[in-house]
Chain A
Amino acid sequence: MLSIIAKLLRVLNSETNPAQISLAFCLAMLAGLTPFSSLHNLMPLFLVLILRVNLSSFLVGLAFFSGVAYLLDPVFHQIGLGVLKAEALQNLWTQCYNNPFIRLTRFNNTILMGSLVFSLLFFIPLFMATNLFIRKYRDHILGLVQKSRIMKALKASKFYSIYNRVDQIRGKG
């Protein structure tokens, strides 16, 4: 895990396109907030692998959002229940329910539906916010962070040696 965080820091500090990091983070949200073993999670996995997004960001994001998912569980249940019970959508859900392949996705589960709707709604806003954050970080914060006492202390730690080793290997590569 430390090496993954080290990789993430390296990516943040590198020239990597912010969109690659942001998209990986958003796909991690999609996979992390919804129940992991659900069939629909093959889609973010497929996108992460086929699109040139940052894998370290995806893995860190996945761990982060899986933790958040447990906390938001009651919220997802309420959202899912609202969506699945919405009068206007009953025909759609009934059709889906009678389709064996869609039924396999367990779309009629309140937590799955709630978390999916939540992550889809926040997908683009999170993408844009993360993009903006990375740019601002690189322009204004990175220099200060490098000079800060905490960073100096960190550089003396085991964590930093891992970070450095990864960086060197990467550099050789």
Chain B
Amino acid sequence: MKFFRWQGLIAFVIIVALILGLWFLFIDTAIKNTIETVGTKINGAMVNVGKADLTLSPLGLIVTKLEVTDRDEPMKNAIEVDRIAFLMDFGHLLHHKIIVDEMTVHRIKTGTPRKKSGEIKKRAIKEKTEGKVVSKSLTLPKIDIPDVKEILKSEELQTLMAVHAIKGNIQDGKEKWKEKEKQLPDSNKLEDYKKRVDNAKRALKGNIKDALKGAKEVKAIRKDLRNDLERIESVKKEIKEDFRTLQASIKEAETLPAEDLKRLKKKYSLSSEGLANFSQLLFGNKVSNWTKTSFAWYEKVNPYLEKLRDSKIKEEEKKPERGKGLNIAFKEFNPMPDLFVRTAALTLHIPAGEIKGEIRDITSDQHLTGKATTFGLKGEKLDGMRAVKLNGEINRVSELKEKDSINLKISGYDINSVALSDSPDFPVTLQKASADIYVNTVIKNERFNSDLKAEFKAVKLMSDIGKDSGDIKKALASTLSDVKSFNLRADLVGGKDDFQIKLSSDLDDILKKSVGNMVKRESARFEKELKLALSEKVKDPLKGLEADMEDFDKIEEKLNAYSDKLDAMMQEIKESEKKKLKLPFKKSLKSLIKR
């Protein structure tokens, strides 16, 4: 038997050639599909590639029309890139490593519309609303001081509320007294006592049998009197306690006008401190919105940055996928990252024009290259902007040095008709300005530390106030319209959910200098008028309380009169008992001695 089948060699060559041929035919589609599948998995929304073209000599890849869906708005692309082209190192590719010396990324656009939704699955609305910072928006306080009478008409005063409550308590106290009074001895009972005492006295004067009966009655009367006296004492004590409590409430109510005055002053008067905070009120919302936008972008980029860290997790620590197993990594003699792009040249298209720049040292394993990813972008003579410069670095070289920093410099940024305050009371619009803005941000452990400095020149501020506005409002509007330049500084510290912004501007000083004295004067006048009107309004109700309390004095007097009468009766019966009870026994003793 022949052992070899030589025609099999030809079949083998044909099969291998066929495999290679098919590979070459379908590799572009396979790469396209791989980018889309892996990209979609990472992005959480569709990633689409128009075309992927692998060239073998030189070994490179051209990806055209890459669209990355915005997860939060699936009908928009977060990023769209017209063309990405790069050459790869073949030797490293055999090691499953993509090492690129130079990459060109042409025409990056953001927020472009999509023809089809890029949503991969319906995400719960809850997820969208969760984690949203619910921040209180800043609004300008009322500039003009309203009429004092109007304020007191519309405001609920704490003093009057307290007076009303105390009045109710006094009424309750009186009701309680009426109930108790029913249980106390009335004039009939006193008359009854009197009769009983007289009868007892008479009985004591009689024979021994009557005297003994009288003594028994005296004992009963004393017991009844004691009980009634005790009841009266208890009621007196209760009434006194109620009286004390009501007195304390009245005393407290008397301090409330001062509290009301303080609260109303704070609410209605424009203090000079308020002016010192004017920039916060004007720019606070804008800066807060910019911050939220920055956080939203950081949220979009952060999962990819997190993956840089995750890639360090050893394969062995992962749970193997069924049918796929784990790829065990061994020590490399010349360790290289799985992905390393030395330089990526970018052209970014924003509505204002084109920005060019480069990103250096893009890698999934910075600890291997020892270099942080740096980026620098620059655009000049843009539409509505003289120049823009953005640079920074993403540092994941070591866990201790983990830090991201971004510096943005915008020169000659034209601002047109930006509403700074949409408060109907005092609307402010920045009609025109040219701004130089510098932002320096450092992000460490997802905590931001950002510093914004902005210089506004050729400023035209406008406040469209009504003709019947007050003096302060007019003065403020006039000062704002005279402002030709001002600066703004914002310091931001914190994370996505708990950031704090501190704003300052020389605009505050300008306003303070200009209308500060007027505000002080007007505020003093307002305070004086308010104090007077307030005390006038609460005077009578407070006096009424005192009058109501006089009834309690009458109750006490009545109780005292009761107890005095009962005491007198008790005294009377004690004395007659002493006198009359002793006599028959004295006589009997004397007669016994004589015998």
**Chain A interfacial positions (CB closer than 8 Å to B):** 17, 42, 45-46, 48-52, 70, 73, 76-77, 80-81, 84-85, 90, 93-94, 97-98, 100-101, 103-104, 106, 108-112, 114
Contacts and interface: CB of A to CB of B under 8 A. Distances in A.
B96 A103 contact: yes
A82 to B, nearest CB: 11
A108 B8 contact: no
Interface of B is mostly: loop
B166 to A, nearest CB: 81
Contacts of B9: 49-50
B1 A46 contact: no
A42 B15 CA distance: 10
A50 B5 CA distance: 5
Interface in B2-49: 2-6, 8-9, 11-12, 15-16
Contacts of A103: 94-96
B11 to A, nearest CB: 5
Contact of B323 (A51, A52, A73): A73
A80 B94 CA distance: 22
Nearest to B6: A50
Interface in B237-251: none
A85 B326 contact: no
Interface string B318-346: 00101111111111111000000000000
Nearest to B322: A73
A81 B332 contact: no
Given A52-B3, A81-B316, A108-B329, 19 more contacts: A49-B8, A49-B12, A51-B5, A52-B1, A52-B2, A73-B323, A77-B320, A93-B328, A97-B329, A97-B330, A97-B332, A100-B94, A103-B94, A103-B95, A106-B327, A109-B325, A109-B327, A111-B323, A114-B325
Nearest to A110: B325
Contact of B3 (A51, A104, A108): A51
B91 interface: yes
A85 B6 CA distance: 41
Nearest to A102: B94
Given A98-B332, A101-B94, A49 B325 contact: no
B330 A52 contact: no
Given A70-B323, A77-B320, A104 B1 contact: no
A70 B334 CA distance: 36
18 contacts: A46-B12, A49-B8, A49-B9, A50-B8, A51-B3, A51-B8, A70-B323, A80-B325, A90-B330, A97-B329, A103-B95, A108-B327, A108-B330, A110-B328, A111-B320, A111-B323, A111-B324, A111-B325
Nearest to B12: A49
Interface of B: 1-6, 8-9, 11-12, 15-16, 91, 94-96, 316, 320, 322-334
Contacts of B91: 100
Contact of A109 (B16, B94, B316, B326): B326
Contacts of B1: 17, 52
Contacts of A100: 91, 94-95
Contacts, number: 81
A97 B328 CA distance: 10
B325 A76 contact: yes
Contacts of A110: 320, 325-328
B328 to A, nearest CB: 5
A93 B327 CA distance: 12
Nearest to B10: A49
A58 to B, nearest CB: 12
Leading 3 A-B pairs by shortest Cβ distance: A111-B325, A100-B94, A49-B8
Nearest to A80: B325
Contacts of B333: 98
Nearest to B15: A45
A94 B440 CA distance: 46
Nearest to A108: B328
Contacts of B15: 45, 49
A76 B322 CA distance: 11
Contacts of A76: 325
Contacts of A46: 12
Contacts of A97: 329-332
B328 A84 contact: yes
B12 A93 contact: no
B326 A81 contact: yes
Contacts of B6: 50
Nearest to A112: B325
Nearest to B9: A50
A85 B330 CA distance: 10
Given A81-B326, A108-B330, A110-B320, A49 B5 contact: yes
B4 A93 contact: no
Contacts of B16: 42
Given A70-B323, A93-B330, A49 B96 contact: no
B322 to A, nearest CB: 6
A110 B323 CA distance: 10
Contacts of A52: 1-5
Contacts of A51: 3-5, 8
Contacts of B331: 94, 97
A93 B330 CA distance: 7
Contacts of A114: 325
B326 A77 contact: yes
Nearest to B325: A111
Contacts of B95: 100, 103
A109 B95 CA distance: 14
A19 B332 CA distance: 44
B328 A85 contact: yes
A85 B328 CA distance: 9
A26 B316 CA distance: 31
Q: Which of A50, A52, A81, A101 has the most CB of B within 10 A?
A: A50
A80 B324 CA distance: 12
Nearest to B94: A100
A152 B1 CA distance: 34
A77 B325 contact: yes
A77 B326 CA distance: 8
A111 B323 CA distance: 7
Contacts of B4: 50-52
